[in-house]
Every structure is written in structure tokens, then in C-alpha cells.
Structure 1
């Protein structure tokens, strides 16, 4: 018989479940219960046909909003590519699409939240908050700034111009490249 504390013979190697994975199903169930309760209250007060028309109107309005936001985002991307500059993250197209998606989801609470996201002051406030959160997470995850990471990922020509996708292969004295291949070892490019 031994005295004292015994050491465990095995360890639980499963990773801990995140708080989000624990709370998200409960939150979704609560949201669904709220939506059903609101629909039954409005159906009792105004009638089932009114509820049907409001859900249909929300779906149609959401599809129009998503279509407009998608067109605006595609137009901004196209203009940025023509100018040769990176596309700007501004414009609120993502939040407009989220608002449209919330309008398309059947339910009155999601419609109210979707309409709220379509208001420009709310979009600006939510956009600033999201940008601050993303920036703080990126700063915590990587040393330096995001711009430095993008700058390191680009190749520079001697004249200072940035050329995406350019590969420089230096050849050694015997005519081979860094992998030891000579020009005779290289295959021709695959072209039709």
C-alpha cells in the first residue's frame, strides 16, 4: 500500500472546445426561437397573409440589395484592376451584402437587423469596429505590419518597379541554375 498522491497514467490529448463552438449552437437556437415567437405574435395580431407578404417583401428587397452591392463591388474591383492599384476595402459592399442576406432569411428580427445594416452610419461604425478587430488580431499574430508582409511577398526589379510573378534564376559558373540543372536539362515550356 502506497501513501501520497498518485500520478495519472494517461493524459487527455483532445484539444479543448472553444467558447465559440460551445455558445454558437445555443445562440442559434435562441435566435430561431425568437424568430418563431415574433412570427406567431405578428400573425396573431395582423394575420398570416400579412406575415407572408412581409417575408416575401424582405426576400425580394434582400435580393435587390445583394445584387446592387455585388455589382458595386465588381465595378470597384474592375476599376482598380484597370488602374493597376490594389482594390480598396472601403465602400461597404460586404456589409450591404450581409444586410441583404439577413433580409432574405425568413424572420422579422433578421429583417430588422438587415435593415439596420443598410444605414450608412451603422455601416461606417460596424466597418470601423471590424477593421480595428482585424488589425489587432493581425498585429497579435504576426510581427510587423500587414503592409510589410505584402511588401516581402513581392519581387522587386532593379529599377524599383514591382513585378508580380517574376522569377529570377541565377546561374552558376558551369552554366547551371541554383538546382544544378544546365540549359540542356530544362524542358521546353508547355504551350499549345
Structure 2
């Protein structure tokens, strides 16, 4: 027999991460800022000019995404034709993200999208993102998703050796039969 009150179902609930806690608030603030800026520009320059600006941003963004996607596909085909592994697509990915931000209606997203199209900004963002990912993977606990991702990166183009495990099965020689799979 146990004594005392039953455990509360809320006691074992894990805490929400900062990202999950503040992302909805940040998105709502960004949306309010975009609408406020669009109304401010529409009041100063006219509604037609804002509409043309949004259409031009959507067209330019789609052309940028199309060009970056085509370049990434050509790089992949070229690398596979040479027999090597495909190069990282960091610049193409950031170019696509910049095009996507241009396609989203709004002035702040257009400004950030245009910034992501500049090569120095792409290099800086790519470097910071790679460093943050490396830190997270080093800090990953065994058995976590980060640990699985770390173990999956066995082939590195820079020649570094990543520890792993080789499982070799005994294979029958020529003329020998395999044992049956059923037991």
C-alpha cells in the first residue's frame, strides 16, 4: 500500500526550449512590423507603388531561386560525373533563402533577402551556421539525434577520418551455398 498523494501529471513535463517559447512572439512582431512599414510606405508613395514593389520582389525572388537551383543541380551533376562527392551547397542554399525572403511580401523580408544575396554576408552567415552546428554536434549526448547525425558523417571530403565501426559478414566462396535464412 502506498501512502500520500498521487504524483502530479504536470511535474514530469519537460520545459519548453527558448526557441519554441519565443518563436511565435517573434513571428507576430515581425508580421506587425511588416504591415506597419507597408502602410507607412503606402501613405508616402501611394498604394500602387507598394503593390508594384511587392510584385517586383516576388518576380525577382522566383528568378533568383530558379537560378540558384539550376546552379546547384549543375554542380551536383558535375561532381557525380567526376566520381567525387558533391560539394556543400551553402552559398546556393543561402541564395535560395534570399530569393524566398524576396518573394515573401514585406519590406523587412526584402531587405534581409537582398542582404543574403551579397557574397560577404553569405560567407559570414555560412561560417557562423557551420560553427553553431559543429558545437551542437560536439555537445550531443549519446543516443540523441545529434549523435546519430554525427555518426552518419563518416565520409568527409577534407580527408579527416571519422571513427566508426565495420561489420563484416562471412560470405560464401564461389560454388558454396548460403545457409538458409530460417531457423
Q: For 2:169 and 2:151, locate their aligned partners in 1 and report how far apart those are by CA, in whole Å.
A: 26
Does the alignment pair 1:111 with 2:110? yes
SS of the aligned residue for 1:92 comes to: helix
Give 1:168 shift: 5.3
Q: How many residues align?
A: 162
Give me the TM-score of the superposition, normalised by structure 1: 0.73
- Which region of structure 1 is more displaced relative to structure 2, 51-60 or 133-142? 133-142
Equivalent residue for 2:157?
none
Does the alignment pair 1:185 with 2:183? no
Give me the TM-score of the superposition, normalised by structure 2: 0.77
Equivalent residue for 1:43?
42
* CA offsets 1:139-172 (integer angstroms, 9 cap, x no match): 222689x5995055696xxxxxxxxxxx953159
Q: Alpha carbons of 1:154 and 1:119: their partners in 2 closer, same or farther (altered >3 Å)?
A: farther
Unaligned runs of at least 5 residues, structure 1:
1-6, 156-166, 177-181, 188-192
Give 1:136 shift: 1.3
SS of the aligned residue for 2:48 comes to: helix
Give 1:42 shift: 0.3
SS of the aligned residue for 1:89 comes to: coil
Contact 2:151 2:164 (8 Å CA) reproduced: no
Unaligned runs of at least 5 residues, structure 2:
155-161
Matched ranges for 1:67-82 at <5 A: 67-82=66-81
Equivalent residue for 2:21?
22
Give 1:22 shift: 0.9
Equivalent residue for 1:4?
none
Q: For 2:74 and 2:51, locate their aligned partners in 1 and report how far apart those are by CA, in whole Å.
A: 35
Give 1:185 shift: 3.0
Equivalent residue for 1:129?
128
Q: For 1:35 and 1:21, locate their aligned partners in 2 and report how far apart those are by CA, in whole Å.
A: 22
Over alpha carbons, which structure has the higher Rg? 1
* Structure with more of its chain in helix, by fraction: 2
